[in-house]
Amino acid sequence: MAIGSGSTALYTFTTAGLGLYIATIARNLAQAALLAILVLMPMIFLSGAWTPPEAMPSGLREAMYLSPLYYFIEMGYGILLKGAGLDILWDSLLGLALLGMAIFGLGVWRFKRQF
């Protein structure tokens, strides 16, 4: 499997876990939509897509590591613009994998606890 499709699958896994976690907190669809906005907007702002990480204060730069979109964009830039391979992007792939397992595990844990 190419690194591009693998990183996309891993990002999809991570965001599915985030959606599962949000669904376990919300009581109805409207609450889930509002919670998704509350989670996704900071995730987009902390991804580095709109504002470069170098222009952010140090506290926000450290908070960027909690955004799965940050790792996905780093890998996307590396693959598409630089032609980087796994030897260069392994740290972003590992960060996304660890974050994905933590988020998905938390979502599954909350889901099991409800039933």
The predicted-structure confidence for 69-96, as pLDDT tens digits, reads as follows 999 999 999 998 988 889 999 999 999 9
What pLDDT, on the 0 to 100 scale, is given for residue 34?
Answer: 96
pTM, full prediction = 0.89
Summarize the confidence of residues 6-31 as an average pLDDT: 95
> Are the C-beta atoms of 15 and 68 separated by less than 8 Å?
yes
User: Stretch 27-36: mean pLDDT, rounded?
Assistant: 96
Averaged confidence pLDDT in the chain? 92
- Exposed, middle or buried, 96 (CB in 10 Å: 0-12/13-18/19+)? buried
- What is the structure's pLDDT at 1? 54
User: What pLDDT is recorded for position 3?
Assistant: 84
Quick one: pLDDT at residue 73?
Answer: 94
Cα 90 to Cα 49, 64, 76: the distances in Å are 20, 18, 13
Distance of alpha carbon 99 from alpha carbon 31, whole angstroms: 24
Structure tokens at 98: 């660890």
